[in-house]
Amino acid sequence: MGTTLKVKPLKDWIDLGDKPLIISGPCSAESYDQLMRTGKELAKIDQVKIIRAGIWKPRTRPEIFEGVGETALEWLLELKKETSLKTCVEVATPEHIELALKYQVDVLWIGARTTVNPFSVQILADVLKGVDIPVMVKNPLHPDLKLWVGALERINNAGITKLAAIHRGFYTYDNKPFRNLPMWEIPIELKRLIPSLPIIVDPSHICGNRTLLASVAQRALDLSMDGLMFESHYNPDIALTDAEQQLTPKNLELLLSNLVVRKEYGNQDFENILEKLRHEIDLMDHELLSILSRREEKTKQIGVYKKTNNITVLQIDRLRKMIQERLDYGEKLGLDYAFILKLLQLVHKDSIRVQTDIMQENS
Ligand code: PEP
Ligand code: MN
CB atoms within 10 A of CB 43: 17
Q: Is the pLDDT of residue 362 over 90?
A: no
CATH class of the 10-258 domain in this structure: alpha beta
- CA dist., res. 357 & res. 27, Å (int): 54
**Residue of minimum CA distance from atom 6 in ligand 1:** 111
Q: Tens digit of pLDDT for each residue in 289-318?
A: 999 999 999 999 999 999 999 999 999 999
Q: How many angstroms from the chain centroid is the CA of residue 27?
A: 18
Rounded average pLDDT over 17-35: 96
Rounded average pLDDT over 331-358: 96
Number of alpha carbons in the 13 Å side-chain half-sphere of residue 181: 14
What residues does ligand 1 touch, defined as CB less than 6 Å away? Answer: 27, 54, 58, 111-113, 138, 168, 205
Q: Tens digit of pLDDT for each residue in 254-291?
A: 999 999 999 988 999 999 999 999 999 999 999 999 99
pLDDT at 363: 63
Length of the chain: 363
* Ligand 1 nearest-atom number relative to CA 112: 8
What is the domain partition of the chain in residue ranges? 10-258, 268-360
* 154 C-alpha to ligand 2 centroid (Å): 25
* 112 C-alpha to ligand 1 centroid (Å): 6
Rounded average pLDDT over 18-40: 97
- Asked whether the CA dihedral 322, 325, 331, 332 is positive or negative, the reply is negative
Ligand closest to 245 (CA) is 2
Q: What are phi and psi of 160, to 5 degrees?
A: -80, 110
Rounded average pLDDT over 112-123: 98
**Residue of minimum CA distance from atom 1 in ligand 1:** 27
- CA dist., res. 57 & res. 66, Å (int): 5
* 194 C-alpha to ligand 1 centroid (Å): 23
Task: Report yes or no: 202 and 168 within 8 Å, Cβ to Cβ.
Answer: yes
Please report the DSSP string for 59-95 in residue order: -SSSSS-----HHHHHHHHHHHHHSS-EEEEE--SHH
Domain 268-360 has CATH 3.90.1150.10: no
Rounded average pLDDT over 236-260: 98
pLDDT at 222: 97
pLDDT at 257: 98
* 109 C-alpha to ligand 1 centroid (Å): 9
* Ligand 1 nearest-atom number relative to CA 166: 9
First to last CA, the chain: 38
* 240 C-alpha to ligand 2 centroid (Å): 10
CB atoms within 10 A of CB 228: 27
Average pLDDT, the chain: 97
Ligand closest to 233 (CA) is 2
Rounded average pLDDT over 249-257: 98
Q: Tens digit of pLDDT for each residue in 177-216?
A: 999 999 999 999 999 999 999 999 999 999 999 999 999 9
Give residues with Cβ within 8 angstroms of 239, minimum separation 6: 26, 27, 28, 30, 233, 246
- Asked whether the CA dihedral 257, 260, 263, 266 is positive or negative, the reply is positive
pLDDT at 137: 99
Q: Is the pLDDT of residue 3 over 90?
A: no
Ligand closest to 114 (CA) is 1
Pocket test for ligand 1, best of 178, 200, 205, 228 (most atoms within 8 A of CB): 205
Q: Which candidate, 202, 250, 205, places its Cα nearest to that of 227? A: 202
- CA dist., res. 327 & res. 344, Å (int): 9
* 156 C-alpha to ligand 1 centroid (Å): 21
Q: Tens digit of pLDDT for each residue in 145-165?
A: 999 999 999 999 999 999 999
